[in-house]
Structure 1
Amino acid sequence: MVINANSTLPLVRKGMKKLSPSIEQFAKNAVVPSLKSWGIIFNSFLELDGDKMEIIKEEFTEHDRLWAIGPLLPIKATNNERGGPSSIPRDEISLTKLQMEAIASALEESRVRFIWGINGDSQNMVPLGFEDRLVGKGLVIKGWVPQQAILDHQAVGSYLTHCGWNSALEGLLGGALLLAWPMQVDHFDNTNLLVDELGVAIRACEGLTTVPDPNKLARV
């Protein structure tokens, strides 16, 4: 199975973009061989990824055995399973102290209602007094968050995401406007698709270590 055609294409198209040595090795060892298999399954759907699948079929395969069977999302946790693993691995993205302060400041300035799910090392970086000042306005959840259930709720209007594929799919299916903060690897290609091609997201920030301007972030 290939996650999606949109982020696969840049990995296999020579000269399309410069890859880091580790990503280039991953593409050589994993992605390219998968395109030479008898058939390819994509965790995506044609309305989202169809044109890229067509390019892969024309340029990298000699058959029509390509199927989009998505979106496939992690199984929803039952009440008894709460506290289990998130749909996004805890160690995937950890924000820095300065990034946490910027988000907190933006949320406070924006005066919007919010749910802020915090995993990993970032749990101990919530600015002192932030939660007390926003009692009744926002909710900070440290640890596992029922992300898909939250995004499916009609009260949710937007969703700040790094645009990993699973994360983006959950936001799209929930109908929320995606606030894109791509940080690494396929995040940037996914963001280009969501913002520039589909118009279902807007750019909020970019980069693994970038600290956003709280005033600008509050107005996104």
Structure 2
Amino acid sequence: MLMKSLSVLAILSLLAITLPLAISDPRSVQDFCVGVNSSVNGVFVNGKFCKDPKLATADDFFFRGLIDPKDPTDTHRANITLVSADNFLALNTLGISFARADYEVNGVQPPHTHPRASEFLVVTQGTLSVGFVTADQDGNRLFAKTLNVGDVFLFPEGLIHYQANIGDVPAVAFTALNSQNPGLSTTADAVFGCTPSIDPDVLARAFKLDRSIVVDLQNKFKTASSFTAV
């Protein structure tokens, strides 16, 4: 009985050590792995083939395109320029991604989550209202701040968060995320715009709304344009 208890304890201890490693981007065991779309002279790592490091150049580690403001492309009056391992191949295996966020006056990034990354945001223009909400077991507490130029804010991994321009001029922010594939789930889109739709009677009970309101929201989010958030 004692040996069985020790075996269970050993397994639990091993899981406690290894699980944190399993739920984050793995550490690289090489200097870099510039992604390529061909298997020729490449090794498959993190979903991409690596360029032969002897063929890498400084241009592989250079990205241009974050200096110019971007026009909003959706109903939220905001635009996100995401830089990840998909469009900056040198980020492959390095466990990071970043983005520029442009907000028109009254622009907003609606509540959303990144299941695999925490996010660090710095404001370079304008004024933003930002915040995140803790998980249910932590009381669904809202942590919110008004940010001006030079201010930074951290959104912990997996928690619902938002940003909104509350100033009278366009706002700009830059963000960094600690995953090359942070993931994105926009809360309202996931609930009301998924395919196939969640039973509106279930949502009506869950949100304490009339069924007709739920159906109206489902129709609106089904036809809404796609949105990239950070």
TM-score of the superposed pair, with normalisation by structure 1: 0.25
TM-score of the superposed pair, with normalisation by structure 2: 0.24
- Of structures 1 and 2, the one scoring higher in RCO (CA 8 A, sep 6+) is 2
